[in-house]
Amino acid sequence: MSGLITALARPPMLPARPMIVIYTLTWLIETVGLVLFWGLYGPALAGFIGMGVFVVVAWRRTL
């Protein structure tokens, strides 16, 4: 649904670097939170790898 709303609203291009920083922080905080607060090592590892692929690709494209 959010993708549809974004497509309809057509927001202006946002600067990539701040968006990548926010995604990277979310990636790290999510992983730490899953391990420290809930003890969910499997989902933490899966999220770390799954989101980490996009983090690495995004940073390589912007640098």
pLDDT tens, residue by residue, 27-62: 999 999 999 999 999 999 999 999 999 999 999 998
Residue 2 has pLDDT above 80, yes or no: no
Q: For residue 32, what pLDDT is reported? A: 97
pLDDT tens, residue by residue, 15-26: 899 999 999 999
* Per-residue three-class SS string for the chain: CHHHHHHHHCCCCCCHHHHHHHHHHHHHHHHHHHHHCCCCHHHHHHHHHHHHHHHHHHHHHHC
Domain coordinates in residue numbering, the chain: 14-62
Structure token pair of residue 30: 């999510």
